[in-house]
Amino acid sequence: MPPERSYWFPARRYGWGWGPPTSWQGWAVIVAYVALVALDFALFPPRSEWAAFLGYLLVVTALLIAVCWLKGERPRWRWGDDA
C-alpha cells in the first residue's frame, strides 16, 4: 500500500479548485505570490505600463496555478460532503 500523499493545497469542498493551504509550504507559496504581485505594482504601475503589468501578473498567476496543480489534490467539481 503506497504511503498517503500529503497535499499542500486540498481540493475545495464546494466547487472546483483548491482551498486554503494545509502546510507551511503551501502558505509560503501564497506569501511569495502576494509579494510578487506587490512587486508587480511597484515595477509596472498599471496606469502607465498596463501591458507589462498584465504580462507579469499572468506569468506569476500561471506559476501559482502550476504549483497548486503539482502539489495539490486533483481538482474536480465537488458538491460538499462527497469525498
Rounded Cα gap, residues 71 and 30, in angstroms: 13
2 — pLDDT class (breaks 50, 70, 90):
low
Indicate whether 61 belongs to any domain.
yes
> How many distinct structural domains can be found in the chain?
1
Query: Which carries the bigger pLDDT value, residue 11 or residue 64?
Result: 64
Rounded Cα gap, residues 31 and 36, in angstroms: 9
Q: Mean pLDDT throughout 31-51?
A: 96
Q: Mean pLDDT throughout 42-68?
A: 96
DSSP tag of 9: B
The burial class, CB within 10 Å (0-12 / 13-18 / 19+), for 48 is exposed
Which set of grid coordinates corresponds to residue 25? 509550504
Query: Which carries the bigger pLDDT value, residue 36 or residue 83?
Result: 36
Indicate whether 65 belongs to any domain.
yes
| 1 has a pLDDT exceeding 90 | no
Structural domain range at position 44? 30-72
pTM for the whole thing? 0.84
